[in-house]
Structure 1
């Protein structure tokens, strides 16, 4: 009788904790990983440059998952799928989450490539940004390969020319990123791309965007981090 009572008590406590988690959460994340029968989905986020576990979901016999999370403002989440295969490559992706209801649909075979995320405007904009940035990344990789080849052949004039070309490409990319951030200053993706992709850009360009941010962006996670970064750089450059 006593064992039954304590078993029931533990069950009630477990249900209570689950309900508390759902009540406190402001992000309801659901999804489907077509073809997955068994595995573990890890949801993480960056805190002080360190990946912190937010939730882990064991999947056994079904391809759907659900998570109730609490976030202070829209932020990037890192999803890692442990398929139980040591040499698995396509098993991780970034999702720009925001409060509300979000859905993630993907497949086991192409976890990253086939993903479709709904319920987040910031994620939609982030995908647009990646399309804008991708050609610059590809061109830069091509120039690096040419530079390495020319360096091995000791073609110094060619190397110098390629270095200048890379510098010009970087300036073009920075201006494109800053323009994207300016055009989307009402969304948290704006300080995110400035902070992580053009953190070393000229301060006057960073200021030109951040000074136009509405209060909700200034007080968001990435808005505050970007301001801290700018203040640190300004202090270093004044010394």
Structure 2
């Protein structure tokens, strides 16, 4: 119930006023049945903006850190995400990835919409990064279609680190559903998982017009953080 209160009373109207979203390709979202909506991830506001524009309820796999923050603020954020029906995902290893896939398959088994960001994290620079194969594993195992989605403009209005978004206009584009039934029974084959994931990411790329980087965003972020720390240590030594 809280999901719909957020959508139609509390958050939805405010988001429409703040972002003035233009929606393209909404007809590609099925009226019923299971499907995966796979999108790029540029801003914290993506979590709320796209779901607010859909008639159907959509459940997202959200990073576990949103549910484990310290203090009153952390408990409020965790309560918010749980009340909105979002699922925490532990991103710390292979077993965690399998648990996330199981959670996603549980959503799909109930003929619901599942939302996922294949990059696994927000883009820190507005570019599109290599997709993780979990989305492919779920699409093949559940034999459901994948609707690519591109958020355009949210990075400029609320890039990572900015708490309050600027006023502006964003575009949300949904592409034609992707059918991967030809890969049935191949959800454990690495080549098939990578081929499906790359096809999904290419579809997102065509919708978003972003620059593509054939590396995982988490690896690039880790390198940047390491360089920042080493640079800080050198400055102190000097």
TM-score, normalization: structure 2? 0.31
Q: Which has the higher contact order (CA 8 A, sep 6+)?
A: 2
TM-score, normalization: structure 1? 0.31
Q: Which has the higher strand share?
A: 1
Larger radius of gyration: 1
